[in-house]
Amino acid sequence: MSYCLNPHCQHPEQPEMSEVEHRTCHSCGSSLVLKNRYRILKRLTPKASQRTFLAVDEDKPSTPFCAIKQFNLPDSHSSVTATPPSHSTYLRLESLAEHPQIPQMWAYFREGDYQYSVQEWIEGENVADEIGANGVFSESELREFLQQVLPILDYIHSRQIIHRDIKPENFVRSGDRIYLVDFNNAQFATGTTNLYAGNHPIGSAEYAAPEQVKGACSPRSDIYSLGVTCLHLLTGLSPFDLFNPKTDTWVWQAYLKQPVSKRTAAILEGMVAKSPKQRYRHASEVAKDLNRNPVASAIAFHNVPTPQQLTPKTTAGAIAKLRFASLGTLVAASGVAVGMFVSHLANRPTVEPVGLQAPSMHPLPSPKVEPPQFQTQAAQPTSPVSSMLDTLGTIWSMDRSQNGNLLALGTDEGTVEVWNSKTNQRVTQWQAGEGAIWAIAVSPDGSKVVSATQDNRVKIWDTATGQLLHNLKGHHASVYTLAISPSGQYLVSAGQDNVIHLWHLRTGIHLNTLKGHRDDVQSLAFSPWGNLLASGSSDGTVKLWNIPTGNLQQTLIGHTSDVWSVAMSPDGKTLASGSWDRTIKLWDVQTGESIETFSQHDRKLKSLAFSPDGHTLASSDFSGTIHLSPVDNQGITGTLKSNSDLAGILFADGGRTLLSGKQDRVMEWNLFAHLYQ
């Protein structure tokens, strides 16, 4: 199929023709191949004044799709579309290709009576069509949208470029990224006021700022248009219907299909203020307000009454507010509800189903990773235990980079905090969701943080900026656990839907689905070389998966209750599993045989961690007790009490110290000082 570019052609859509015939319009005789390389496939814009086309670049071996816009020439009297950007603007637009969420500017040129621009084509669905198909955005979806697009605006404004046509149609979701497209109306900001004054209005009237309609604009105009876009995404209505000209006020809140918080409403009002002086100056200011005071968590622990405050009338309401799928009992501790795990008290199947076959998977390239090297450091006795840092909420998950410099924490209010564990200083923080961060993982080099919440989403973040890189969709229930391969190539996630998803960490591409568990998957651990994955489940089993092939390699049976934690030894030869049957089992990874069983815990097991030298295994239970167990005759023995039933554990300082979560802080245990002083 081809399409004729001639605006006066009566029959621009071309019938199927031969290779030779398809180069000339059958109706008007115009060429169908622009600049002898771009074949026009179809028109994308319905308005007569805006002519944008989908084309294919036949000059490149891969014949990629591209978007081509047709402009008037400065001396033309045609009413095809707006005057094209200047050469200097095109140069500036070309530089924007450095941003991963802005399409590349490929070319601009004159041919015949028109000028054309050629841009990279982003395959996906714009958010206007998205709400048409799926309905309006919820508040959490809107905040996620803003988390992605505000950094784009901040980026282009920092380069003195004003988009001038921000609207739902120009935000395209491709995979887990949202792209800002169509920079053909963009213009430089000039002077110290960052204001551009033109001789005609630019942009779509519904979304254009008042000053833009009068022919002037600034970065605040883009912020206004983005705010109006948000109002449309929340209501599904035209902005013209959301503004009352009699009172000169926005009335969008009267048309909401789902309520939004007062804080989010205030941010939006600050974006769409009529006077530019009353608006946000920079997109970064909007982002700062969005992250500074997050929407109250759906798991509002700080608002849950104590047992003494609960009456028969209020109890049901308090429990209902927790809104956890599969969290059945409310547990109160020090006036704080921590009933996250209690639905798993029911008995679990403990035997492997007869005839279970390893699932058929698509093979993956085997990662080439050198075995990790560890060095034992001499112990220098210091204080046996100290508080490293104070967080902004109760700690629900924690992980650290391979070199130990960065520590990432997930809180009950959906906040991710990144700390420098050497200086005990908070490096950055951002809002990753509206509920508790159930699992968190840091890439080996510390450049990425992955979070999982009860909303079924797994999100990959840039550690330095807090920018959302990928929003991974695939789970159909809450995600409980994450793991990143030692090479930083693969990410795995699992939870309440019983399956394990394998992702490519850098691109967010889904690679495989591992199926075999009959109940929630509670824990994951890679081997040191990343070719083997261990998973522990509420079905009482531990499974070993071959990552390159995706095949189930072994099923380890021995626990009589839920397996909540697994850990792989640094040499990859031993696997540890911790269960709600209050035992820890060591397994030979090669044979699958049980080597040893530890039974020193009085409560259900929560976390496990091998020391870097592999000689000692640390384990924590739901009473907050931490046991140190020797794996061989070089290991150490001891008991630590953190007084927290949500303690996660991590070794640090080459095994000299152990980190554990305790309410709103991380405790640092000096193992040698504690055990021997």
What pLDDT does residue 83 have?
64
Residue type, 215: G
pLDDT higher than threshold 70 for residue 326: no
387: confidence class by pLDDT, cuts 50, 70, 90: low
Cβ(655)–Cβ(647) under 8 Å?
A: no
What pLDDT does residue 621 have?
86
Q: How do the residues of the chain divide into helix, strand and coil, expressed in percent and rounded to 5? A: 20, 35, 50
- Half-sphere exposure of residue 262, counting CA atoms within 13 Å on the CB side? 0
Both tokens of residue 410? 């997930």
pLDDT higher than threshold 80 for residue 342: no
pLDDT higher than threshold 90 for residue 220: yes
Let me know if 165 is a catalytic residue.
Answer: yes
DSSP-assigned states of every residue in 298-310: SS-GGGSPPTTT-
What pLDDT does residue 663 have?
66
Cβ(123)–Cβ(65) under 8 Å?
A: yes
What gap in Å lies between CA 452 and CA 217, rounded to an integer?
40
Residue type, 178: I
pLDDT higher than threshold 70 for residue 640: yes
pTM of the model: 0.48
Of 646, 21, 4, 119, the residue nearest 337 (C-alpha): 646
Over residues 122-139, mean pLDDT: 90
176: confidence class by pLDDT, cuts 50, 70, 90: confident
Report residue 103: phi and psi, to 5°: -65, 150
**What is the CATH code of the structural domain delimited by 387-486?**
2.40.128.630
Q: What is the pLDDT of residues 106-119, one digit of tens each?
A: 888 988 888 888 98
Both tokens of residue 128? 């206007």
Q: Any idea which of 46-60, 134-148, 575-589, 627-641 has the lowest mean pLDDT?
A: 46-60
Going by the DSSP 8-state scheme, the letter that residue 8 receives in this structure is T
Domain 21-120 matches domain 126-292 at the CATH topology level: no
* Catalytic member of 57, 165, 497, 562: 165
**CATH superfamily, domain at 21-120:** Phosphorylase Kinase; domain 1 (3.30.200.20)
∠ CA(205), CA(211), CA(212), 5° rounding? 45
Cβ(220)–Cβ(180) under 8 Å?
A: no
Q: What is the pLDDT of residues 505-535, one digit of tens each?
A: 988 988 899 999 999 999 999 999 888 999 9
CB within 8 Å of 529: residues ≥ 6 apart: 367, 369, 371, 486, 572
Q: Please state the domain extents for the chain.
A: 21-120, 126-292, 301-345, 387-486
190: confidence class by pLDDT, cuts 50, 70, 90: low
pLDDT higher than threshold 50 for residue 669: yes
128: confidence class by pLDDT, cuts 50, 70, 90: very high
Report residue 166: phi and psi, to 5°: -75, 120
pLDDT higher than threshold 50 for residue 328: no
pLDDT higher than threshold 60 for residue 449: yes
What radius of gyration do the chain's Cα atoms show? 29
Residue burial 459-474, b: 16+ Cβ < 10 Å; e: rest: bbbebeebbbbbbbeb
Cβ(31)–Cβ(6) under 8 Å?
A: no
The overall average pLDDT reported for the chain is: 78
Q: Calculate what percentage of the chain has a pLDDT beyond 90.
A: 39
Residue length, the chain?
677
The runs of H, that is alpha helices, within 135-218 are 139-158, 210-213
667: confidence class by pLDDT, cuts 50, 70, 90: confident
Coil, strand or helix at 242: helix
326 C-beta neighbours (distance < 10 Å), count: 13
Residue type, 394: T
Over residues 99-108, mean pLDDT: 89
∠ CA(660), CA(661), CA(665), 5° rounding? 120
pLDDT higher than threshold 70 for residue 46: no
Extended beta strands in 25-113, E state: 33-34, 38-43, 51-57, 65-72, 105-111
Strands 243-244 and 249-250: antiparallel
Q: What is the pLDDT of residues 595-620, one digit of tens each?
A: 999 998 888 888 999 999 999 999 98
**CATH superfamily, domain at 126-292:** Transferase(Phosphotransferase) domain 1 (1.10.510.10)
